[in-house]
Amino acid sequence: MQATTSACPCGTGFPFAACCAPYLAGIAPAPTAETLMRSRYSAYVLERSDYIRSTWHPATCPNALNPEPGLHWLGLKIKRVEDGLEQDDHGIVEFVARSKRDGRAQRLHETSIFERIDGNWVYVRGEAC
């Protein structure tokens, strides 16, 4: 588990306890689509498939979430955010997530679509860039 005083995996520079930890613990819902994107990235880093599943739109969530063995996440960069604020019902977040597996660097460049359901942001789908 991530130490509460260490930097959050999502890349904000804030301590984990003051950044994504409250969302992963279910203490508070992510207030924006970008915050949800960052907390989902942290959940991938920490292998918290329960959080990933709970923040995925029920209509598009896969039956199984299988972590990739040996995958090591290296960093997240948010490239673009459209809408997805506290007053919105839809949002878009474009990001690049870097990882490494078996000594080979990888990049996931995606535009993610988010929707608010019953006041909570959920990930709907992603489109590769």
- Yes or no: say if 92 and 81 are a contact pair by the CB < 8 Å rule: yes
Dihedral through CA 18, CA 20, CA 22, CA 27, nearest 10?
150
Segment 10-36, tens digit of pLDDT:
999 999 999 999 999 999 999 999 999
Confidence band (pLDDT; 50, 70, 90) for 4? low
Please report the domains of the chain, with CATH numbers, ordered by start residue. Answer: 16-128 (3.10.450.50)
Strand, coil or helix: 26: coil
**Close Cβ partners of 100 (under 8 Å, ≥ 6 residues apart):** 71, 72, 74, 106
Segment 110-126, tens digit of pLDDT:
999 999 999 999 999 99
What percentage of the chain carries pLDDT values higher than 70? 97
pTM: 0.94
Distance CA 59, CA 117 (A): 12
The pLDDT, as a whole number, for residue 62 is: 94
Segment 56-104, tens digit of pLDDT:
999 999 998 888 888 999 999 999 999 999 999 999 999 999 999 999 9
Distance CA 11, CA 76 (A): 6
Strand, coil or helix: 15: strand
Q: How does DSSP classify residue 16?
A: G
